């Protein structure tokens, strides 16, 4: 396969790509000054495939010989490419989410993970175990007293010798 990188003269590199890579040894790790709209279709598709395989966008760019600054420049300046990258990321997230949802049928940890990320159902108690303050809620005015602090919602005659409510 031919290297997908562009030369300094803005022509397609004629060298063969390294095995398993999209760029030749001359272009591997080199920052190619990318301009919006200057990405070759083969390189563009290679970045999208890397993202769909699980790589974050900047890592996907690096895998095909695009430096992180250049990848960011492409994402900022090329709306069509940025949309393709966003769609690839969303497709990856959907695939991963479906995989976790399938695992949730037999693994409680996956089910808890899903519940934590899907939003809290009505009446759900926070996982902290401590009551949460209610604004304007009694004498505490939204503040939860410390464990060793007497509860100001109770008068002295309602408290036991240990300082706890009767």
Residues 32 and 78 placed together within one structural domain of the fold: yes
Mean pLDDT by 10 residues, the chain (166 residues): 73 78 68 59 90 92 85 84 93 91 90 77 53 52 59 64 68
pTM (two decimals)? 0.51
11 and 88 part of one domain? yes
52 shares its domain with 105: yes
Structural domain containing residue 141:
132-166
Q: What's phi and psi for 2, nearest 5 deg?
A: -80, 145
Overall number of domains in the chain = 2
pLDDT value at residue 126? 54
Domain co-membership, 39 together with 85 = yes
pLDDT at 103 (0 to 100)? 92
112 contacts 74 by C-beta, under 8 angstroms: no
Same domain? For 101 and 143 the reply is: no
Distance CA 44, CA 4 (A): 10
Residue 4 token pair: 């997908």
Give dist(CA 39, CA 23) in Å, integer.
14
């Amino acid at each position: 396969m031919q290297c997908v990188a562009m030369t300094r003269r803005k022509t397609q590199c004629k060298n063969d790509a390294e095995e398993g890579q999209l760029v030749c040894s001359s272009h591997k790790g080199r920052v190619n000054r990318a301009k919006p709209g200057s990405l070759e279709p083969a390189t563009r598709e290679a970045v999208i495939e890397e993202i769909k395989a699980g790589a974050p966008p900047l890592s996907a760019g690096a895998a095909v010989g695009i430096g992180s600054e250049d990848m960011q420049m492409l994402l900022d300046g090329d709306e069509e490419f940025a949309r393709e990258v966003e769609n690839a990321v969303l497709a990856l997230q959907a695939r991963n989410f479906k995989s976790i949802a399938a695992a949730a049928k037999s693994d409680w940890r996956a089910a808890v993970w899903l519940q934590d990320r899907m939003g809290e159902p009505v009446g759900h108690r926070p996982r902290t175990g401590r009551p949460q303050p209610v604004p304007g809620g009694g004498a505490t005015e939204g503040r939860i007293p410390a464990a060793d602090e007497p509860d100001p919602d109770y008068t002295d005659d309602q408290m036991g010798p240990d300082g706890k409510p009767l």
